[in-house]
Every structure is written in C-alpha cells, then in structure tokens.
Amino acid sequence: MNAEFNIELYKLIADWNPMKFEDASMGDQEVYDCMDIIHQTDDRDETVKRIQHVYHFSFDQYIPAEEIHLLLDRVATLNMQCKL
C-alpha cells in the first residue's frame, strides 16, 4: 500500500460516514482507527469486528457487518487501482 492509497482510503472512509454526521470531520479519529485496522488485519471477518468495535466504543452504535463488508469491497477495489 502506498501514499496514494492512504489518501484515497481516508477519503473513502470519511465519505462512508456511517454516523451520518453533517460535519464528517467529527468522525476523523474513527477514520484513522479504521485505516489502521485495514492496514494491520488480514482476516476480513476480524476486520469487520474491529471496525464495529470502533464505532460501538465511540458512539454506542452498531454498524451492520454487511455495511462494513461493502466498504471493504470498495477498499479492495481501491487497493487494486492504486497498485496500477
């Protein structure tokens, strides 16, 4: 993963904005936490659980696994595009 990927990954997760904040920057710490999880966790189900934990811990909200799987599909596509 390269710098271009990291920039685009940040944008992707920030735009995802699962808490539907008017000011998406209110979830910046969670975006960075998710980026860290995506970089460090190879197992997809574990990645989903860890991302769910981030939002549950911060906002006491449960993000459905299906929603996170869709995000991770977009991350995988982004990763392939940035490798080109």
pLDDT tens sequence across 6-52: 999 999 999 999 999 999 789 999 999 999 999 999 999 999 999 99
Distance of alpha carbon 4 from alpha carbon 62, whole angstroms: 30
pTM value is 0.92
Distance of alpha carbon 75 from alpha carbon 81, whole angstroms: 10
What tokens were used for 17? Answer: 């904005």
CB-based burial of residue 52 (10 Å sphere; 0-12 exposed, 13-18 middle, 19+ buried)? middle
Sorted by sequence, the CB contacts under 8 Å of residue 82 that are 6+ apart come out as: 1, 2, 4, 5, 8
